[in-house]
Amino acid sequence: MPRPPAGATDTGDGLDELRAEAMEWGRKPRAFGSVYVTEHMVRAMRAYGWTIIVGALGQPVLYLLGLAVGLAALINAPIDVGGQQVPYLVFVAPALLMTSAIAVASEEFTYPVMAGFKWRRYFYGFNASPLSSGQIANGVVAGAGARMAVTVVLYFVFIVLFFAWLQPDATKLSTAWLAPFIALLGGLAFGIPLMAYAASVEDDKGQFALVQRFIFMPMFLFSGTFYPLSSLPDWLEWIGWISPLWHATELGRVVTYGQPSPPMLIALHVVYLVGLSVGGLIIGRRLFERRLAK
């Protein structure tokens, strides 16, 4: 904070100027508070930045080569969805792209949030400054979104360069660039509600491990990732219907190889993903405010 000018008194113009300058100083952090928190979260990732890059590059290599050399070699028949037949890798690649974003979300919106409240407690340091609790929550979302963006872009570039997308109709590639944005939306739709849950956890008793085993894994296996959702029995299909992964994957297949889908269903996918993201952020901001007020 700037020092008062020489000769200023408690009732003089100098103190009034000091107050005005201090208030102006405080407006900048509050105006750009979310940006500052985002910057901190991104800078903190530099400690494990090489694992982010290696993971973003290694995951598509392992998955796609494993599928191309192994599973796809056994599945000679194309996949039939909505009367359209496509090669197996064409069908699976969009789902793996969406899964990569959700996998990042499951990491960034759990233990780092817990660390900010309990182990490292830097959220309380942020809150002691002119930053608001809502800005802190926004910054956490934006920081995790930045890592997701790096992952999905690298994944998408790898898929395109190595022809994992065996595009049956090259004219439909004009909309494939939308796939990374859909993946980012899918990751946020899963991750932001997870952040809200993490903000409510007082002590780590294995809750996040249970999320991985009983939410993320069933979602990955039963959301039409490796086969059409309609091939599942009725009593399992509901997992896909409520899963952000299925909604994002269906949108990804529409923009990449032109999977037939009614406009109303496309709108439903978008509204569902946006609704989860916005609703999760509203609840998360309130939980951040309540937790940081203690």
Domain that residue 137 falls in:
47-292
Global confidence as pTM: 0.86
Residue 184 lies inside a defined structural domain of this protein: yes
DSSP state for residue 215 in the 8-state scheme:
I
How many domains, the chain? 1
Q: Sort strands 84-86 and 79-81 into parallel, antiparallel or unpaired.
A: antiparallel
Residue 2 lies inside a defined structural domain of this protein: no
Rounded Cα distance, 57 and 152, in Å: 10
Residue 209 lies inside a defined structural domain of this protein: yes
Sequence letter at residue 50: W
pLDDT at 173: 58
Backbone phi, psi, residue 27, to 5°: -70, -35
* 119-163 residue pLDDT tens: 999 999 999 888 999 999 999 999 999 999 999 998 898 888 766
Residue 235 lies inside a defined structural domain of this protein: yes
DSSP state for residue 265 in the 8-state scheme:
H
* 168-188 residue pLDDT tens: 454 455 788 999 999 999 999
Residue 276 lies inside a defined structural domain of this protein: yes
pLDDT at 3: 52
Residue 18 lies inside a defined structural domain of this protein: no
Residue 120 lies inside a defined structural domain of this protein: yes
Residue 69 lies inside a defined structural domain of this protein: yes
User: CA distances (Å), 80 to each of 74, 229, 236, 239, 259, in order?
Assistant: 16, 12, 20, 21, 10
Backbone phi, psi, residue 32, to 5°: -115, 25
